[in-house]
Structure 1
Amino acid sequence: MKYLLFTATLFCAIAFKSYAQEAPPNNQTFNFSVQDCINYAYEHQDSIVNAGLDVKSAEYKVKETRGIGLPQISGSATFQDYLKIPTTLLPGEVFGQPAGTFIPVKFGVKYQSSVGATADQILFDGSYLVGLKASKTYKELSVKNLTRNKIQISVSVIKAYYQVLVSNEQLRLTDANIKQLKQQFDETTAQNKQGTVEKIDVDRIAVQYNNLVTTRENTIRSLALNYQVLKFQMGMPIENALSLKDKLEDIKLDDTADLAADTSFYHNRIEYSLSETGIALKKLDLKRQQSQYLPTLKANASYTSSYQNNSFGNLYKMNFPSSYIGLTLNIPIFNGWQRLNQVRQSKIAVLKSQNDLENSKNGLKLEANQANVAYVNGLQSLNNQKRNRELAEEVLRVSKIKYQQGVGSSIEVTQAQTSLDDANDKYIQGLYDALISKVDLDKAYGRIK
């Protein structure tokens, strides 16, 4: 008896230490529902934050592409100091010299400088128009990637949340077993002192009691770890204090008969939508390749101020300006069939993407069917484990009554207790499997947004 009391005291101390959640420095404690956890993850989980930054980057990419169609203006400035002015040889006949002779002449001045500006403006370019559409589609792709990351994080958070709820339920059942086993131990000990039962009966219960205490300690440590896993999935510092608002009874394990009638559910899946966007990008790339056959037209203008003088002090006193405006038309004629083969490659890429989309649709249907089967099996298994657990409780109750009335044995009670412990374990596992299969089912049918 002293050993049992010591064990119980030690286990309580360990349990309290393990189960307690340390409060953060600001003493803030979070009491979250599963949706609160998901919302928190949307703001703090690195993968979602980075996906949000990708969306912002895509917005800048759209603006960058749009800027190609705006006037492109650049300025320039030059300065040269001719340490030696270049010499040019002119025929001697020009100056009345004999034929075959040359007269060295220096053209130019020592100092030269110029300041100018040029501007180009696209008037027509098929590649630019297609590129502008492609940049918007690229932004759409980044938004969908953000949605996919949110769905993945939502699934991970929900599963981690359910794991904590199941661990709490396991702890509750273990506590209930310990309580009734402690009562049974006290009654059996008293009977042993009165000489109505043997010492071995007390020892059998003591073994079961110690095993349950160990199980509880393991459950508490697992529960603390499950809290940390949930915080990690949320992007929350694991040292923060977190308690759960939702209860197991709040979770609805509904019938799924209506899901089988939905044959177009795959349109709700972000993976399918991403594949569709991928096809759109491939088609735009095909249009870009085809636009290479079209001519391009640009307007251009330039203005330059030139300064020349042999004296640096007087260099900028005299200006020689020049300017022009013009059009540049570029007509592709022949490039060795490069454009033709590039178009053919783009067409093949579109066909491959369409094939991938069809394969993705079949894969999503298979995933949904598998999730549906797993969920139905999980529900049936859970209901069966519930009934088994109720039966095990009833068997234990009857065995204890028979034992107390002297028509049963302590071995029968011990076996009934072992059966209840096993039924509890299988019930907990069945509960977890049913909840996880429910999450997978919702994901498979596009219910998690």
Structure 2
Amino acid sequence: MNINKIIVSVLLLSFGFGAAAQQKWTLEECIQYAITNNLDVKKSGIQNEINKENLNQSKRNLLPSISMGASGSNSYGKSLDLDRYEYINTSQFYSSFGLSGGIDVFRGFTRQNTISYRKMNYLAGLEDEKMQKYNLAFTVMQGYYNAVYYYGLAEIVKEQKQLSEMNLKRTQKQVDLGLKAKSDLLEMESRLAKEELILIQTQNYYKTAMLDLKQAMNFDPGTDFSIDLLTPEIGIAGAEAKPASDIYTGALDFYPTIKAQELRTKAAQKNLSIAKGILWPSLTASGGYSSYYFKTKGSDNTATLRDQFKNNAGQSVGLSLNIPVFQRFGLRSDVKLARLSYLQAQTELEKTSQELLNEITQNSQELESFMAEYNQLVKQVDFAQVAYNAAEKKLDQGLISIIELYDSKNILAQAKSDLLRTKLQYTIKQKTIDVYLGKPVFGFLQ
């Protein structure tokens, strides 16, 4: 799961706003819909069913094999008379029946190791599917919170625009009374026009964000769609960061990418055992039952079909030993390749574990950073609000210019937008850490 890219993309995306539809989808509803309708997840599920059937068949391969056959023919001309064992020139009907079976007594434990090999691959596929669902869930969550973020920024822009409209009306009255210069009014009108443009842009960005969310969910883009736009409540002030080493130790026991690679490492080990087992002699037991019926034209043989099958019956029992003596070193080469594949799987497991540790360490540090930023931004918003209120009063008293008022208003708007962004970033990071901790972030994925 490339969670770092998900977080970075949240920082780089722009703002947006749009109208709400009748149904408001929650985050979990969006994720559930995406998982149910994602084609890649469906493909993984089908592949896992294929792996499961291969596993079941490898178990059934331990059973004896039984086959039955029957034949019938009518010959003309010279043929062997089975009563007198001499060739005669006449027509003859011949029918036979046979039943045979066999079972592996010893095959170097290849059958048992094949079962284990396929079981490990099947379980690894299940872990891959689980990780695929988690990745999809985080992608949808990214799009969901992007839309929430854009909507919130649009609301901030709208609030600032309303303040500008109020100040414009007040300034208009002051200009009419000769208390303000005309240039102040023109400056306000120019600033208001710019804010109207920014609002239009954020509305378009929101629409784009909603379209991106629909695409991530595989939702019909032409269907009305609305989400719950309330920002999540988070208790950042009292949160305590858990050491990355502790998170990593716990994640090793259940994290899907680790479990999948561990299972594939075990599968590679079983594959090595299979390759070694082929070098051993194999012993097979077999048995059979057969009989036949014949009728020669003009012959005195009047025995019935039932009597002939009974009298002509024969049984067989045998053991077959196969010793691989020389296969042009092909079997030895297979063992060597299997051993190298096992070493490769071990290396990949070590690499995956290292990458997980790096991800957890980076996400833990970023979580602490967002926590500190959020707490500071809360104070900054409060201070900026007080400063803007004071600036309005100073403007009425003629102590500051219009430009200074807008500077104060822009600082307030920026502080509010930074607070919203950091809050949503913290939410995504916290959910990421919760996944590493094994918490039911998305209950239906547990």
* Band of TM-score, shorter chain: 0.7 to 0.9
- Give 1:66 shift: 1.7
Q: Tell me what 1:289 maps to.
A: 275
- Give 1:360 shift: 2.1
Q: Tell me what 1:347 maps to.
A: 339
Q: Tell me what 1:71 maps to.
A: 64
- Equivalent runs, 1:401-412 vs 2, <5 Å: 401-412=393-404
- Give 1:282 shift: 0.9
User: C-alpha distance in 1, partners of 2:90/2:118?
Assistant: 51
- Give 1:166 shift: 1.5
- Equivalent runs, 1:369-380 vs 2, <5 Å: 369-380=361-372
User: C-alpha distance in 1, partners of 2:169/2:314?
Assistant: 109
CA radius of gyration, larger in: 1
Instruction: Note the alpha carbon deviations across 1:289-341, whole angstroms, 9 max, x for none.
Output: 222243333332333443444669x9996556444332333242522544344
Amino acid at match of 2:260: L
Amino acid at match of 2:98: G
- Give 1:63 shift: 1.8
- Equivalent runs, 1:73-112 vs 2, <5 Å: 73-80=66-73, 82=75, 111-112=93-94
User: C-alpha distance in 2, partners of 1:426/1:441?
Assistant: 22
Identity %: 16
- Give 1:148 shift: 1.1
- Equivalent runs, 1:182-193 vs 2, <5 Å: 182-193=165-176
Structure 2, unaligned runs of 5 or more? 1-15, 81-86
Instruction: Note the alpha carbon deviations across 1:40-92, whole angstroms, 9 max, x for none.
Output: 333333333332333332222222112212232333344445566589xxxxx
Whether 1:330 aligns to 2:321 is yes
Which of 265, 271, 279 is the matching residue for 2:257? 271
Whether 1:154 aligns to 2:137 is yes
User: C-alpha distance in 1, partners of 2:245/2:351?
Assistant: 21
1:166–1:431 contact (8 Å) kept in structure 2: no
Amino acid at match of 2:198: T
- Equivalent runs, 1:130-279 vs 2, <5 Å: 130-245=113-228, 247-253=230-236, 255-262=239-246, 264-267=249-252, 268-279=254-265
Which of 48, 56, 59 is the matching residue for 2:41? 48
- Give 1:445 shift: 5.4
User: C-alpha distance in 1, partners of 2:243/2:163?
Assistant: 43
Instruction: Note the alpha carbon deviations across 1:397-449, whole angstroms, 9 max, x for none.
Output: 22221110122222222332333344444444444443444344445555555
Amino acid at match of 1:157: V
User: C-alpha distance in 2, partners of 1:248/1:133?
Assistant: 48
TM-score of the aligned structures, taking structure 2 as reference length:
0.79
User: C-alpha distance in 2, partners of 1:325/1:420?
Assistant: 96
1:44–1:234 contact (8 Å) kept in structure 2: yes
- Give 1:108 shift: 8.7
User: C-alpha distance in 2, partners of 1:372/1:391?
Assistant: 29
User: C-alpha distance in 2, partners of 1:225/1:239?
Assistant: 13
- Give 1:284 shift: 0.7
User: C-alpha distance in 1, partners of 2:340/2:240?
Assistant: 41
Q: How many residues were matched structurally?
A: 410
Instruction: Note the alpha carbon deviations across 1:353-382, whole angstroms, 9 max, x for none.
Output: 222222222221112112222223333344
Amino acid at match of 2:142: K
The 1:315–1:139 alpha-carbon spacing in structure 2 relative to 1, beyond 3 Å, is farther
Amino acid at match of 2:100: T
Structure 1, unaligned runs of 5 or more? 1-14, 24-28, 88-104
2:148–2:230 contact (8 Å) kept in structure 1: yes
The 1:182–1:108 alpha-carbon spacing in structure 2 relative to 1, beyond 3 Å, is farther
Q: Tell me what 2:84 maps to.
A: none
User: C-alpha distance in 2, partners of 1:375/1:209?
Assistant: 37
User: C-alpha distance in 2, partners of 1:399/1:179?
Assistant: 16
2:124–2:263 contact (8 Å) kept in structure 1: yes
- Give 1:144 shift: 1.1
- Give 1:213 shift: 2.2
The 1:259–1:232 alpha-carbon spacing in structure 2 relative to 1, beyond 3 Å, is farther
User: C-alpha distance in 2, partners of 1:437/1:211?
Assistant: 34
User: C-alpha distance in 1, partners of 2:206/2:287?
Assistant: 73
The 1:186–1:69 alpha-carbon spacing in structure 2 relative to 1, beyond 3 Å, is same
2:76–2:91 contact (8 Å) kept in structure 1: no
User: C-alpha distance in 2, partners of 1:325/1:429?
Assistant: 82
User: C-alpha distance in 2, partners of 1:287/1:307?
Assistant: 49
Stretch of structure 1 that moved more, 233-242 or 146-155: 233-242
Whether 1:62 aligns to 2:48 is no
Q: Compute the RMSD of aligned alpha carbons.
A: 3.4
Q: Tell me what 1:6 maps to.
A: none
The 1:32–1:85 alpha-carbon spacing in structure 2 relative to 1, beyond 3 Å, is farther
User: C-alpha distance in 2, partners of 1:283/1:198?
Assistant: 85
Stretch of structure 1 that moved more, 239-248 or 151-160: 239-248
Q: Tell me what 2:83 maps to.
A: none
Whether 1:301 aligns to 2:287 is yes
